[in-house]
Amino acid sequence: MNTMTYKGFSARVEFDGEDDIFVGRLAGIDDVVGFHADTVEGLKAAFHEAVNDYLETCRKLGRAPMKAYSGKMMFRVAPELHARAARAAELSGKSLNQWAEDVFAEAVGGKI
């Protein structure tokens, strides 16, 4: 996974082979905040500058930057998958919520 983190913000980074540059965008916010550079060092600096600019712009506009996620997720799955997940949670001695949190944490690289 090509990600960067700074001041609680994360960004996904990709390489643009046509322009020979790294391109990144802040993830998890509705505002579009992007950055780019042609070296890894430049990319890190551009990312930090983009986050700092975003925070400063929010301050000047008198609005709070996008907040972290609440931790509540609601989604639909097939009934059979729901049943299988509930059984797996019960067999592991965990609530379905705790079991799902553990599965998600493992899928994204460990607990926070």
What is the SS3 assignment for 104?
Answer: helix
Closest alpha carbon to 6 in 37, 69, 50: 50
Contact 6, 51 (CB under 8 A): yes
d(CA 35, CA 13): 9
Write out the DSSP string of 49-87: HHHHHHHHHHHHHT-PPPPPP-S-------HHHHHHHHH
Q: What is the pLDDT of residues 14-42, one digit of tens each?
A: 999 999 999 999 988 888 999 999 999 99
Read off the pTM: 0.64
Q: Return all residues near 98 (Cβ < 8 A) that are at least 6 apart.
A: 89
Q: What is the pLDDT of residues 35-85, one digit of tens each?
A: 999 999 999 999 999 999 999 999 999 999 986 666 778 889 999 999 999
The residue type of 12 is R
Number of helices (H), then strands (E), belonging to the chain: the values are: 3, 4
Q: Hey, where are the domains in the chain?
A: 3-61, 69-112
